[in-house]
Structure 1
Amino acid sequence: MFAGEIRRKRVQSMRSFTQWRWHLDEVFVRINGKRHDLWRAVDQQGEILESFVTKPREKAAALKFLKKAMRRHGPFKAIVTDGLKSYNAALRDLNPVGKQETGRWLNNRAENSHLPLRQRERAMQRFRQMKTLQKLSSVHAAVHNPFCQDRHLISREKYKAQPSAALVK
């Protein structure tokens, strides 16, 4: 309940901005020895927008993920992806107003967003069910975004006040 409330308030405030650059990436996760994909969308500031777990890694999964993210967060100005062909096929079906960018190091923001989840995965000694992974990834993002801000961008007073301000919002 705590994480859901924070997430709902942040999404409402972010929907008004249409100038977002999204970074999309997928990561392989093993659940009971079977390979699943965790799709993630991260905005230009490093905040995790959406997480989605699927079994196949294909156009239909990418399309479902993009529709879910656009329904919740609105349109995007530009989208940064890796070289996965599923994104191209899904974006062709959506007819996006923004442009797609693909480059060697452009997607580092999304790649680095997987690191805290990987640490949590090791602490939990892997995942047992798809449902558990989906729940953890969405709750982890909702809690991680307001509490883990970039320390180097703000003053000490503002940094110390942020955790209590996130609870008040």
Structure 2
Amino acid sequence: MKKSKSLYHGHRFPPGVISCAVRWYFRFQLSLRDIEELLFERGVIVTYETIRCWCDKFGEGFAHRVKAVRRKPGSTWHLDEMFVTLRGEPYLLWRAVDEYGAELDILLQKRRDKTAAKRFFKRVLRSSPVPRRIVTDQLRSYPAAKAEIQELANVKHVFVKAAARLNNRAENAHQPTRERERRMRGFRDPKRTQKFLSCFGPIREHFALKRHLLRASLYRKHLAARFVAWGKVTEVTRNPSYAF
């Protein structure tokens, strides 16, 4: 039987180092140079451009695997858009989360019309089952696009007042993106922004447990389980803490 190649085939650095660097970048508010310094402190000499290449190469695959191992998405979709500015031009970041606050998908688009909403609905349906209910603000693009998609035509649609900020699941899901946007001094290229945020959400959420709802011992137990799952996702058998 032919042995399959390692995920890290051709890389001179240990898998544990690469996995840890990618996790730090998408999990914490760290720049590439911050990670370069943290690795140097641990005796690993690597440039921030190499770390960028690792994140570009492995981030998307790790994010897809993390989404595959998480619990089944809820039956309610909360959808919302937020404005982001890329090199002075306004864009809309469309986001869908379930009733537990888990990100289902995101899509960066230039417009906010029916075509854009329809494109986003179809994208979410590719990775998530048909919901029982959809919650949105009163943007007219949502019902117009929903009516033209056969799978969603009979799904219950709940509207909330945008000014009242009642769509809390979706509104709260924007906060980490805003924080990261400030840390990176703004996003720039649309394609790179889409790729980064598609990885950022699932990887960050994998480790961002609702700590305020858990006892310290239970929180550590759940976090340890997440690290074990991350090891399987990244094909790193050793604990990341002992990778250096």
Aligned mate of 1:57, from 99, 112, 136:
112
2:176 counterpart of 1:119: no
Q: Please list every run of at least 4 consecutive aligned residues from structure 1 whose deviation after the TM superposition is greater than 4 angstroms.
A: 12-15
Larger Rg: 2
Q: 2:158 aligns with which of 95, 101, 104?
A: 101
Counterparts of 2:80 and 2:90, CA distance in 1? 16
Q: Distance in 1 between matches of 2:211 and 2:171?
A: 20
Q: 1:62 is aligned with what amino acid?
A: A
**How many angstroms does 1:94 deviate by?**
1.2
Match of 2:124 among 66, 69, 81: 69
Distance 1:11-1:87 versus aligned 2 partners, 3 A rule: farther
- Count how many residue pairs are aligned between Structure 1 and Structure 2: 167
| TM-score for both structures, normalised by structure 2 | 0.63
Q: Secondary structure at the match of 2:148?
A: helix
Task: Structure 1: state its 5+ residue gaps.
Answer: none
Report the CA distance between 1:6 and its aligned residue.
Answer: 5.1
What is the CA–CA distance in structure 2 between the aligned matches of 1:38 and 1:156, rounded to whole Å?
35
* Contact 1:80 1:106 survives alignment (8 Å): no
1:30-65 deviations in whole A, cap 9, x for unaligned? 101111110000110111110100111111111111
Which structure's residues are more often strand, by fraction?
A: 1
Q: How much does 1:82 deviate?
A: 0.5
- Report the equivalent of 1:42: 97
Cα deviation, residue 143, structure 1:
1.2
- Is the 8 Å Cα contact of residues 133 and 155 (structure 2) preserved in structure 1? yes
**Could you tell me which amino acid in structure 1 is paired with residue 192 of structure 2?**
T
Instruction: Find the residue that maps to 2:145 and give its secondary structure.
Output: helix
Q: Is the CA contact (8 Å cut-off) linking 1:24 and 1:40 kept in structure 2?
A: yes
Q: Secondary structure of 2:185's match?
A: coil
Task: Give how far 1:164 is off.
Answer: 2.9
Distance 1:89 1:11, change over 3 A: farther
| Separation of aligned partners in 2, 1:122 and 1:128 | 12
Residue identity (%)? 38
1:154 Cα deviation from its structure 2 partner: 2.9
